[in-house]
Amino acid sequence: MGSIRFDKVDKVFGPASGGVKALDDINLEIGDKEFVAIVGPSGCGKTTCLRMVAGFEPPSAGIVSVNGKAVTEPGPDRAVVFQQFALFPWKSVRENIELGLRNKNLPKAERDGLVAGALRLMNLESHADAFPHQLSGGMQQRVAIARAYVLDPEVLLMDEPFGALDAQTRVVMQEELVRLARVNPRTVLFITHAVEEAVYLADRVAVMTRRPGRIKEVLDIRSVRQAESWDRHERIEDVMDLESFVHLRTQIWKSLREEKGAHGV
């Protein structure tokens, strides 16, 4: 089980009065095994939403809960994949993936099995003993995803995970994530500013307004994906060519553009 719930959540940075209001009355429910992407203009507070679920930031008002329990601190039931990977550079790929399992006090034999499985899942077997700096950005993010997946978390929090990658690597990783979601479905909260990425990956896409961030609308992608059977197509560019995909993408684009236009950008 892994459901996420934002209930009347506000976030103010700085002093309680006179601070900057980053989030205003966020209400969102993400069901078990659902993949929800949040898109929005930069600075709208979408990353702050994720950080509150992760337990890195407390809400200023309202409640963020996972499985009905209010989040109070970070923990391995909510694995995070960071934009800048945040691997431990002094640990090998294997050691990076293994740390969370050691923290759970699993016996060595069990850890070895799980790490081997995670390495296989992300095609990292031949790099198990490499250090992060010896790997490309895409490979490093594979390690970060393996490190998160191996924890068997209830929810997976991905903060612009492909934002630091080049365009081609990005596409490969997006396809990879779709493959992962099929093999091993998880509740995912995915933050991005790339509209195509959100539409391609998510079951639902939440569009946020400019600061103070509010949820403007939530679009259902899954029903369209199933009705138009996007999953028949192996390759991302084939999906992105479909009329139903283009339609959704344009709809979100327009919604985001209104946000910018309203402020004369």
Partner 1 sequence: MIGRRVWVGLGSVAAVLLLWFGLTTATGFVSPGRFPSPADFWLSLNQIATRGYAGGGLAAHALQSVKLVVMGFVVAIATGVPLGLWMGWDRRAEAAINPIFLIIRPIPPLAWIPLAILWLGLGDGAKIMVIWFAAFVPSVINSFAGVRNIDRPIIEAAQMLGTPRWRLITEVIAPAAAPMIFTGLRLSLQASWTTLVAAELVGALAGIGFVLNMAQQDIYPGMILVGMVTVGVLGWATTYVLGLVERRALAWNVAGRD
Residues near partner 1, by CB under 8 A: 54-56, 73-76, 78-80, 82, 84, 86-91, 99-100, 102-104, 131, 133, 147, 151
User: Rounded to 5 degrees, what are φ and ψ at 220?
Assistant: -90, 115
Nearer to partner 1, 105 or 126 (CB): 105
CB of 210 to partner 1, least distance (A): 25
Distance (Å, rounded) from C-alpha 59 to C-alpha 51? 10
Spatial neighbors of 13 by CB under 8 A, at least 6 apart, are 19, 20, 22
Q: Which amino acid appears at position 42 of this protein?
A: S
Nearer to partner 1, 141 or 209 (CB): 141
Contact at 8 Å (CB) between 83 and 161? yes
264 — alpha (psi -120 to 50), left (phi > 0) or beta?
left
CB of 84 to partner 1, least distance (A): 6
CB of 211 to partner 1, least distance (A): 21
Nearer to partner 1, 13 or 88 (CB): 88
Nearer to partner 1, 80 or 256 (CB): 80
Distance (Å, rounded) from C-alpha 114 to C-alpha 94? 11
CB of 153 to partner 1, least distance (A): 9
Nearer to partner 1, 98 or 176 (CB): 98
Contact at 8 Å (CB) between 234 and 184? no
CB of 150 to partner 1, least distance (A): 10
Nearer to partner 1, 88 or 241 (CB): 88
Q: Are strands 4-13 and 20-30 parallel, antiparallel or unpaired?
A: antiparallel
Q: Closest Cα to residue 164, out of 250, 219, 54, 87?
A: 87
